Structure 1
Amino acid sequence: MTANEMPPVATPRVAAGALFFDDEGRVLLVRPTYKKHWDIPGGYVEPGESPRAACIREIEEELGLTIVLGPMLVVDWAPAEHEGDKLLFIFDAGSLNTGQEKAIRFADGELTAWRYVATDDLERYGPPRLTRRLRAATAAHNSGKAAYTEHGSAL
């Protein structure tokens, strides 16, 4: 089979985000300037960059924090209309101490606010697919078992 005969392959957009928790088990959400809803810190993976490296870079760019990233919690197959195929990785970022919380700076101007939100309240901050994905990631954090989801739903 030649290169011209090769069947088409998926070329999904890949993004990575970090899930931070406080002592009460709430998750940290951020308010992007370019979205109508809240999200977790993170962003798209650049060519040649791993999802883990992208997540660490995005945390530094968006929050001004250098962190040690924990294990992957969720990989979500989440194609979106007008954006095509997507693979979204969520990594466990643990908890921020008071000093780190005070050091948060919106260095690149993409974010305007942050707050901790209880998992029961997530639907007030984002679309259903994000709520499902974050609940799956929280469950993976609590169980110590990574999950694969599609549109945020475990299979």
Structure 2
Amino acid sequence: MPDIHVSAAVIVDDDGRVLVVRKQGTTRFMQPGGKPEAGESAAQTLIRELNEELGLHLMEADLRPLGTFVSEAANEPGHRVVAEAFATSIDPALATAQAELAELRWITPSDVATLPLAPLSLEHLLPLAWPAPTR
């Protein structure tokens, strides 16, 4: 199964909501981010993508590395997505859907059951934003 390498952002606001986006012509929501251009580091890729897609102006110091995660690709059948994920926090008023994005939403854990989400978001990234309570 071919791999698609991406950088992805887990963006949380002050109310604990997480930003997800949907690209034009697709049905599933996912964390914002995208594929690297030649010579870019994972953080540089994410900073560029967040600027292009959401109008955000971040620096590497604004990003906290979360690790590398692998899941079935949401929009490319037969492919796996290998994501370098980073966490950051922003004011929701700063993000606007641009470029290839059709929609953005700030979601809570209660939205997960009803919103079509990418496997990477469901399996790895949203659980990082909303850890399960310990007993």
TM-score calculated relative to the size of structure 2: 0.76
- Structure 1 unmatched runs, 5+: 1-9, 141-155
- Alpha carbons 1:65, 1:103 under 8 Å: kept: yes
Match of 1:145 in 2: none
Q: Map of 1:1-155 to 2, 5 A cutoff?
A: 12-68=3-59, 69-80=62-73, 82-94=77-89, 96-97=90-91, 101-108=92-99, 110-125=100-115, 126-138=117-129
How many residues get paired?
126
Are residues 119 and 132 of structure 1, via their aligned partners in 2, closer, same or farther at CA, if it must alter by over 3 Å?
farther
CA deviations 1:15-38 (Å, max 9, x no partner) are: 011111122211011221132111
CA distance in 2, matches of 1:83, 1:113: 25
* Greater relative contact order (Cα < 8 A, sep 6+): 2
- Alpha carbons 1:74, 1:137 under 8 Å: kept: no
CA distance in 2, matches of 1:102, 1:86: 29
TM-score calculated relative to the size of structure 1: 0.67
Structure 1 residue 129 displacement after superposition: 4.4
Query: Match of 1:124, as an amino acid?
Result: T
Query: Match of 1:93, as an amino acid?
Result: T
Secondary structure at the aligned position of 1:78 is classed as strand
Which of 1 and 2 has greater Rg? Answer: 1
Secondary structure at the aligned position of 1:107 is classed as coil
Q: CA RMSD in A?
A: 2.5
CA deviations 1:66-115 (Å, max 9, x no partner) are: 11332111311225474534311211122x22xxx43433332x112222
Query: Match of 1:86, as an amino acid?
Result: V
- Alpha carbons 2:7, 2:43 under 8 Å: kept: yes
Query: Match of 1:118, as an amino acid?
Result: T
Percent identical: 27
- Structure 2 unmatched runs, 5+: none
